[in-house]
């Protein structure tokens, strides 16, 4: 079972802080303040948003991010896919102040569904204090909760979203022996079971084809997600 981890590491100084303390630390981190730029490429002055994102139903998974205001929702969506979500090319959407921005927008006169594209720059749809949601996969959905912590003027290199801080992987123990879990059964997870160490994963009655690796993501154990840049089996 998951033990709620509330600590993470600052990407600039490497220090560890609790989840709440990290929100304050990344605003005042001396290493971050003295960094002349972020990312790669030629620096450009721009408005930059500080975002915090966490699993809507698994808040032990969280990240602090910075993104240039000129970046689009689609670019933020792609970052979230790459970091936490992508497994089978599923659809996704943001919900911001009652408006829905989808990777493949749909409009249905009869149901009243009206979606916009993700081609909007962040500056058009975000402002400090705003809370919004992201959904990936409309079958086995992973929902994320996002908040705009602040905005600032500064220099940004390239167009990549920057990770300011990220949670440490929660400690998850094998349900049978309390050793660290390395696999989760995609069938048993819906009964809040199936967290297995290496030894018990080999013996699990549902079979190897039902197992996925334990990864540091709110999508752990869902669909075919095996982690960022990893393979399984």
Q: Is 24 within 8 Å of 13 (Cβ atoms)?
A: no
Please name the helix (run of DSSP H) or strand (run of DSSP E) that holds residue 44, with its range, or none: strand 43-55
Tell me the whole-structure pTM to 2 decimals. Answer: 0.90
The class (CATH top level) of 2-167 is: alpha beta
Q: Domain segments of the chain: what residues?
A: 2-167, 171-213
Order of strands, sheet of 99-102, starting from the edge strand that comes earlier in the sequence = 16-18, 7-10, 162-167, 62-68, 43-55, 142-157, 131-136, 92-96, 99-102, 113-117, 107-108
- Nearest to residue 200, comparing CAs of 180, 186, 220? 180
The per-residue pLDDT for range 222-231, each reduced to its tens digit, is: 999 999 754 4
Q: What is the pLDDT of residue 233?
A: 42
Residue 74: in which H helix or E strand, if any? helix 73-80
What does the DSSP 8-state code read for residue 173? B
Question: Could you report the per-residue pLDDT of 140-174, keeping only the tens digit for each?
Answer: 999 999 999 999 988 776 667 999 999 999 999 99
Is there a contact between 149 and 128 (Cβ–Cβ < 8 Å)?
yes
pLDDT in tens, 18-34: 999 999 999 999 888 77
Give me the pLDDT at residue 86, please.
95
Q: What is the pLDDT of residues 63-113, one digit of tens each?
A: 999 999 999 999 999 999 999 999 999 999 999 999 999 999 987 766 667
């Amino acid at each position: 079972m998951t033990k709620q981890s509330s600590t993470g590491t600052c990407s600039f100084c490497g220090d560890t802080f609790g989840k709440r303390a990290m929100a304050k630390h990344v605003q005042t981190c001396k290493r971050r303040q003295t960094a002349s730029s972020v990312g790669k490429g030629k620096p450009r002055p721009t408005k930059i948003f500080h975002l915090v994102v966490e699993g809507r139903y698994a808040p032990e998974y969280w990240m602090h991010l910075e993104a240039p205001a000129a970046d689009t929702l689609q670019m933020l969506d792609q970052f979230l896919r790459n970091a936490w979500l992508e497994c089978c090319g599923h659809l996704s959407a943001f919900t911001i102040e009652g408006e829905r921005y989808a990777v493949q927008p749909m409009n249905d006169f009869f149901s009243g569904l009206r979606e916009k594209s993700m081609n909007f720059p962040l500056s058009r749809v975000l402002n400090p204090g705003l809370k919004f949601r992201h959904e990936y996969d409309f079958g086995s959905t992973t929902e994320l909760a996002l908040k705009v912590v602040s905005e600032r003027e500064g220099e940004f290199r390239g167009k990549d979203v920057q990770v300011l801080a990220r949670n440490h992987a929660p400690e998850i123990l094998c349900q049978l022996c309390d050793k660290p879990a390395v696999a989760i059964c995609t069938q048993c997870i819906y009964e809040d079971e199936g967290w297995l160490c290496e030894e018990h994963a080999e013996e699990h009655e549902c079979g190897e084809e039902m197992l996925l690796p334990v990864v540091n993501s709110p999508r752990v154990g869902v669909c075919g997600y095996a982690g960022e840049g990893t393979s399984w089996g």
